[in-house]
Amino acid sequence: MRDVHNKKPRILNLSYYHQKYFPLTKGLKSAVILVVITFFLFSFVYAPVYKFPSLTLAANTQTDAQRQQLENQLSDLEKQISDYENAIDQYQKQGQTLKNEIKTLESKIGKLNLQIKAVNINLEKLNQEIGDTQSKITSAENDISFNKEALSQVLQNLYENESQSLMEIFVASPNLSDFFGNINNLMLVQDNLRITVDKVVQLKNNLLDQKEQLALEKNDAKTLKAYQASQKQTIQQTQSQKNEILKETKGKESVYQTLVAQTKKTAAQIRNQIFELLGGGELTFDKAYTLAKAAEDATGVRAALVLAILDRESALGQNVGRCSYKTAMNPNPKKQSDGSYKSDVDLFLALISQLNIGNADAIMVSCPNKDGLYGGAMGPAQFLPSTWHIYSDDISAIMGHDPANPWNNADAFLAAALYLKDAGAANNEKIAAAKYYCGGRWNRYTCLNVYGYNVVQQANNFQQDIDILNAS
């Protein structure tokens, strides 16, 4: 395809006096082909136009004020939640006594109630953002429609002048200045065509970005609703646990300590319990810890956090391996770290070829969701091909084999640890976990305070098991 930015066809060369015809035809045909291809591209992304009332300045001001009020409420709730978490940590550090256990459970119930309030606030915010994003999508679609009409007008003008020879243009011009004016007008039309095509392509990219943002917001809303329901269930379980402890111990410390001794897990139980990998498959906990400890030794990221990231329970219910790359992966090329433009599909097929592991059609990856978010994550570490491409050389250098394999457990554990290290796990494990799950949009509430928080809590639970193993 002709590059309309750098190789615009020469329209008139006055250094050749014997040239009789205006050489528009070749350039115009190329331009027409470019426009046709552009229209074909749009035929796949052009969405129905939704009708929304026009947004007035007063409405925008009101929305901003409501959003700020929700932000203030959320900030206050998060501070209270943090206070409860600190109280829980203090009670646990003071020792496992009946009094501390009851206070811990009460603090957990208080924290869970506040988390439900925070979820409700975030759902209200998301509903506003979904409405705003849908309005932006509608505006972008209208802009694309308008610019398509502009392209049609430009093409009409070009077709009308395409077959004119230089002599015909000259004869039709009363004087020499009109002749050059007509030539300049034709050049201006072609320049306008290039500018309009550029604008339509940019509008298309903006529209795709806005649709992806809308899909993220809808996915967040669904995740938060599911999280809200699970939090309510956890409150009921915690309250029942508290009541059961009080019923069995009748307030006696000695009876409580006997119960603790009876329910404490042994090293043998921990070694043999099943660890389910996020990307499918399972290991004994002992084997999983061995792999995570090797990753910790190579990166400094604690093994418990690696285990929590790779544990199926941290996946928020996402479908991790039931789809073909053809229906799951983003086919649009993106700029890679080496400066080239490749899609996840391109990188996936290249990786399968390098690994020589069979037919790419038979290898399952994570599925997209129905709101339009692409899937395509691979193996236990759930890396997209573009992300795996970034870390594959480092993994190969450490593991001593090339290429690195995302379906190899040892490679996957190390990959997760390398990513967490780069995401700042040494300073803040919750943020690192949120970045692992959400990438550059990690600071969304769902990523940081649902996924990130749950991963750290799971890591702390695994750490207790690891401490028992190391003490045995």
Whether residue 302 lies inside any domain: the answer is: yes
User: What's the whole-number average pLDDT of the chain?
Assistant: 78
Phi and psi at 130, nearest 5°, equal -65, -40
Beta bridge partners of 323: 365
Which element (helix H / strand E) includes 133? helix 98-162
Tell me, what's the pLDDT at 348?
97
Q: Which residue has the higher pLDDT, 264 or 385?
A: 385
Question: Of the candidates 204, 219, 253, which is a domain's last residue?
Answer: 253
Rounded to whole angstroms, the Cα distance separating 201 from 174 reads 40
Tell me, what's the pLDDT at 122?
84
Same domain, yes or no: 235 and 276: no
Same domain, yes or no: 303 and 162: no
Question: Of the candidates 253, 282, 306, which is a domain's last residue?
Answer: 253
Same domain, yes or no: 195 and 50: yes
Query: Could you read off the pLDDT of 345-398 as tens digits, one per residue?
Result: 999 999 999 999 989 999 999 998 766 688 999 999 999 999 999 999 999 999
CA atoms within 13 A of residue 438's CA, in its CB half-sphere: 25
Whether residue 1 lies inside any domain: the answer is: no
Whether residue 56 lies inside any domain: the answer is: yes
| Nearest one of 70, 196, 199, 180 to 125, comparing CA atoms | 70
Tell me, what's the pLDDT at 260?
79
Whether residue 233 lies inside any domain: the answer is: yes
Same domain, yes or no: 87 and 167: yes
What SS3 string covers 42-59?
A: HCCCCCCCCCCCCCCHHH
Q: Cβ(335)–Cβ(451) under 8 Å?
A: no
Tell me, what's the pLDDT at 150?
67
Whether residue 13 lies inside any domain: the answer is: no
Same domain, yes or no: 48 and 166: yes
Whether residue 461 lies inside any domain: the answer is: yes
Q: Is the pLDDT of residue 28 over 90?
A: no
Question: Of the candidates 224, 253, 282, which is a domain's last residue?
Answer: 253
Domains identified in the chain, total number: 2
Whether residue 357 lies inside any domain: the answer is: yes
Same domain, yes or no: 323 and 193: no
Same domain, yes or no: 235 and 281: no
Tell me, what's the pLDDT at 9?
30
Same domain, yes or no: 435 and 402: yes
Rounded to whole angstroms, the Cα distance separating 110 from 228 reads 14
Q: Which residue has the higher pLDDT, 85 or 184?
A: 85
Top mean pLDDT of 81-95, 275-289, 304-318 is at: 275-289
Residue 34 banded pLDDT, cuts 50, 70, 90: very low
Torsional sign, CA 172, 173, 179, 183: negative
Tell me, what's the pLDDT at 154?
62
Same domain, yes or no: 191 and 62: yes
Who contacts 95 (Cβ-Cβ below 8 Å, separation ≥6)? none
Who contacts 70 (Cβ-Cβ below 8 Å, separation ≥6)? 121, 124, 125
Tell me, what's the pLDDT at 64?
76
Same domain, yes or no: 230 and 276: no
Beta bridge partners of 282: 276
Whether residue 258 lies inside any domain: the answer is: no
Rounded to whole angstroms, the Cα distance separating 341 from 417 reads 27
Q: Is the pLDDT of residue 427 over 90?
A: yes
Q: Report if pTM > 0.75.
A: no
Query: Could you read off the pLDDT of 207-230 as tens digits, one per residue?
Result: 777 777 777 788 788 888 888 888
Same domain, yes or no: 178 and 203: yes
Who contacts 316 (Cβ-Cβ below 8 Å, separation ≥6)? 223, 226, 227, 437, 450, 451, 454
DSSP assignment letter at 293? H
CATH number at residue 430: 1.10.530.10
Region of residue 272 (phi > 0: left; psi between -120 and 50: alpha; otherwise: beta): alpha
Q: Which domain holds residue 90?
A: 25-253
Same domain, yes or no: 49 and 174: yes
